[in-house]
Amino acid sequence: MTHGESRKDMRVAALTALLLLSTAISGCLNVPVEECEGIDCFPLQPDALSEILAAPSAFDVVSLAATNDRLRIVTTTTYEDNGQFAEVHWDVGKDDSAQLRSIAMRMTIGTTTIDNEVIEGQSTTNIRTEGNWYEGRDEVPEYVDPFLELAQLATQQPNGFWPPFSFDTSAIADLSWTISGDQTSTQQIASASNETHTIIIELMGSPPKITGIETYSGAEETFILRVTTGNSVSIELQESLPRAPVGFSINLESIQVGDMTVWYGEVPDGMSTEIDPSQLEFHGLSTVDGIASSVAVMTVSQESSNITLDDGTWWEFNWIDFPMPGYFSAGDLYQIKTNSTGEIDAAVFDSWAQQWTGGPLAQ
């Protein structure tokens, strides 16, 4: 081979290499590409999302609670009809490792708002009422997963007032979905509409899990649900707060039995804390010229007492410690009797909080 032929062969080889490279870049050289299927696609294909939504466990709060030590679910539901506005907001969270849970509810109807929150699970509790925080107590703290408890209560009392955490995603599985995503954060947003609502679904993670649901029915009704897990969920008890009295008061009307006035009843199931009975007092009250005062008292831990006043009238107090011996708790029974006349009342004073829980002397 001559020197000239050698140089010619080198140019041909170089041109061939460039041609192959250029055809690969321009797509002229077909290279098989494996298409993704199912949940491996990002963002999801509509049929894959429909399959996820159709699954019975697509959005199961009980399952979420079982698999996440830290969990918070927030919902906001609004209604507007003929200029009348209403909103219900729930915020439920838990931290299993800290043995703390929080349940907050805000309800607005027109210009009236009820707003409260309880953080509990330990011997100290925090209570928020209308924006003000207070310290409560529980002598026998028992941490219970709030999501499991609310699910059980909703099953037992289906007509009760519970957070709307149950959402049937199978009812929207077959809609025509438009899906976008941010691969860095793994967030995917899917939107669709049916005859009455616009629906937006947020998914996060790999495999994707539902973390948000929104439904809109024009300006009349909206529903927004958000799920947060892991370190983004924080529940903490505050210290050195004003003390709140026990959540029990004698609100029942008295009855007449012969010449006696009687108050009797049961500590309701709604009181979820146990209290040292030596910190509570039953009082007999009398109001004269518009001024109420205590005329007879028994510390609850005494269980029974009969007090005769200087004018010969008497007050009898009885407390029956029933389901949780040694503690003032739900299910306990009480009875207060007197032969006094005039404007009389029975009330409870919480010496730990230094407050009346109800009655004419309550602040």
pLDDT at 219: 76
Does the pLDDT of residue 206 top 60, yes or no?
Answer: yes
Query: Which tokens go with 282?
Result: 């039953």
Query: Which tokens go with 7?
Result: 């140089």
pLDDT at 35: 59
Taking residues 249-272, report their average pLDDT: 94
Pairing of strands 291-299, 304-308: unpaired
pLDDT at 39: 75
Lowest mean pLDDT segment, chosen from 120-124, 231-235, 268-272? 268-272
Which phi-psi region, left, alpha or beta, contains residue 354 (left: φ > 0; alpha: ψ -120 to 50)? left
CB 286 within 8 A of CB 138: no
Name the average pLDDT for the chain.
90
CB 65 within 8 A of CB 148: yes
CB 193 within 8 A of CB 180: no
Does the pLDDT of residue 25 top 50, yes or no?
Answer: no
CA 100 to chain centre: 12
In the numeric block, the tokens 């199931």 are attached to: 269
Q: Is the dihedral of CA 355, 356, 357, 361 positive or negative?
A: negative
% the chain with pLDDT above 90: 83
Does the pLDDT of residue 149 top 70, yes or no?
Answer: yes
Does the pLDDT of residue 55 top 80, yes or no?
Answer: yes
pLDDT at 112: 95
Taking residues 303-331, report their average pLDDT: 97
Pick from 252, 239, 186: nearest CA to 42? 186
Distance, in Å, from the CA atom of 85 to the CA atom of 105, rounded to the nearest integer, reads 17
Helices (H), 38-195: 46-54, 61-67, 146-156
Distance, in Å, from the CA atom of 101 to the CA atom of 121, rounded to the nearest integer, reads 6
Does the pLDDT of residue 14 top 50, yes or no?
Answer: no
Does the pLDDT of residue 31 top 90, yes or no?
Answer: no
CB 95 within 8 A of CB 70: yes
Query: Which tokens go with 42?
Result: 């990002």
Total length of the chain: 363
Distance, in Å, from the CA atom of 315 to the CA atom of 344, rounded to the nearest integer, reads 11
Find the radius of gyration of the CA atoms of the chain.
33
Give the CB-side neighbour count of residue 169, counting CA atoms within 13 A. 26
pLDDT at 133: 98
Q: Is the dihedral of CA 292, 295, 298, 304 positive or negative?
A: negative
pTM over 0.85: no
